[in-house]
């Protein structure tokens, strides 16, 4: 339905969610809905509507960008990339058992506004999300009207489907601003391990930057979770790298990979990406004093088994072709609080990662 530009109509769009009877037909809904006919949304209006819904909640945490430029002046506007596992609604309410998080904090009507508020605050040019199970009723309708081109690839056997009154399968989603980039090629990749197709997926898209005319590839993925699956993740990582080598013509096209790898830096899959012939580096290492260490955590939660603090989320990039101009600092332990994540303050158990990239002036440079 066309909702015009009034905030009252916008609020009705924001508040509306699919009924359980509608989402039971999710298997027939995996085609992209046509949102092109809907009126554009002013992001300020959407942000105001989110803040109205959230007025009884604590304000957003303050996070600052860290300038990482090394006296290198870019000749184009930076490309802002946001990576975030937003926590599937069905898993948050039905499976993940965040024992210190009140169920009231997980209500979708408010939690989705916290997610949208975070996205609107950082204004990414490219947005990479995992655990998206409200794509068709929330993210695609709203973000397409904010000027994003939207792509969703669900897991074949999403654990969300085991939860009563679920909203369909979760998966990876990729969004880019159509006024900044042109889509050249898109690939949905179902990852394999030991020659078997797995439940984990990736999206890889080759884009052309309208300002510079340069091509680059952006990919989003979410690898297998839980301890004991290290070799499985390693195999999935190898498969993804092989696919990306083909798509980027052996790194001739610069590459950015966003994902929840479910792997600490000590795991084999991390070393595979670090040592790949694609010449990748992890952007958030640059926040450390020596530029060699990952952040101490990107997820922090409390489950019945105990407290879990891990570094699992990464933004990898082609270090020969791209520069990291800045990166968004992480939440401090004091901001996160003793009950950890998610909470009334923050909608996910994973922190969002945001980086500003620019093209290297000498793209043939290898180091």
Rounded alpha-carbon distances, angstroms, from residue 108 to 26, 53, 138: 18, 11, 11
* Lowest model confidence (mean pLDDT) among 14-23, 126-135, 299-308: 14-23
Q: What's the mean pLDDT in 294-313?
A: 96
CATH at 202:
3.60.10.10
The chain-wide mean pLDDT, for the chain, equals: 90
What's residue 197's pLDDT? 97
What's residue 38's pLDDT? 80
Q: Is residue 38 part of a domain?
A: no
Q: Is residue 117 part of a domain?
A: yes
- Exposure string of 304-325, with b = 16+ CB inside 10 Å and e = fewer, is eeeeeeebbbbbbbbbbbbbbb
Share of the chain above pLDDT 70, in %: 87
- How many other β-carbons are positioned within 10 Å of the β-carbon of residue 194? 10
The pLDDT tens digits of the residues spanning 37-46 come to: 689 999 999 9
Q: Is residue 10 part of a domain?
A: no
What's residue 71's pLDDT? 59
Q: What's the mean pLDDT in 305-323?
A: 96
Q: Which domain holds residue 126?
A: 78-360
What's residue 366's pLDDT? 45
Q: Is residue 172 part of a domain?
A: yes
Q: Is residue 171 part of a domain?
A: yes
Q: Is residue 66 part of a domain?
A: no
Domain total for the chain?
1
Tell me the pTM: 0.90
What's residue 34's pLDDT? 58
Q: Is residue 34 part of a domain?
A: no
Q: Is residue 30 part of a domain?
A: no
What's residue 70's pLDDT? 72
What's residue 69's pLDDT? 82
């Amino acid at each position: 339905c066309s909702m015009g530009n009034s905030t009252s109509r916008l609020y009705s769009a924001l508040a509306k969610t699919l009924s359980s009877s509608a989402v039971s037909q999710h298997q027939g809904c995996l085609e992209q809905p046509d949102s092109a006919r809907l009126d554009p949304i002013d992001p300020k209006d959407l942000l105001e509507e989110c803040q109205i819904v959230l007025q009884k909640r604590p304000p957003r945490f303050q996070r600052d960008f860290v300038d990482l430029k090394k006296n290198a002046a870019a000749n184009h506007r930076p490309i802002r990339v946001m990576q975030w596992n937003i926590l599937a609604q069905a898993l948050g309410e039905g499976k993940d058992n965040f024992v210190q998080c009140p169920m009231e904090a997980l209500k979708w009507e408010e939690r989705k506004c916290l997610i949208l508020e975070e996205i609107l605050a950082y204004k990414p040019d490219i947005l990479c999300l995992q655990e998206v199970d409200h794509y068709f009723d929330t993210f695609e309708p709203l973000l397409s009207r904010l000027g994003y081109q939207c792509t969703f690839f669900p897991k074949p056997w999403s654990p969300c489907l085991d939860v009563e009154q679920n909203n369909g399968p979760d998966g990876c989603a990729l969004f880019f601003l159509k006024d900044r980039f042109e889509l050249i090629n898109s690939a949905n990749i179902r990852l394999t391990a030991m020659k078997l197709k797995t439940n984990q997926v990736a999206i890889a898209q080759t884009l052309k930057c309208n300002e510079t005319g340069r091509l680059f590839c952006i990919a989003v993925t979410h690898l297998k979770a839980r301890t004991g699956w290290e070799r499985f993740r390693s195999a999935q990582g190898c498969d993804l790298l092989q696919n990306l080598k083909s798509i980027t013509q052996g790194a001739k096209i610069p590459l950015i990979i966003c994902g929840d790898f479910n792997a600490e830096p000590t795991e084999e899959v991390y070393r595979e990406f670090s040592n790949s012939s694609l010449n990748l580096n992890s952007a958030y290492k640059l926040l450390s004093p020596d530029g060699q260490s990952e952040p101490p955590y990107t997820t922090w939660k409390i489950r019945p088994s105990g407290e879990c603090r891990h570094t699992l989320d990464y933004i990898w990039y082609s270090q020969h072709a791209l520069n990291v101009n800045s990166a968004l600092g992480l939440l401090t332990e004091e901001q996160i609080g003793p009950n950890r994540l998610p909470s009334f303050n923050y909608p996910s158990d994973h922190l969002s990662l945001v980086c500003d990239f620019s093209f290297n002036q000498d793209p043939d440079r290898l180091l």
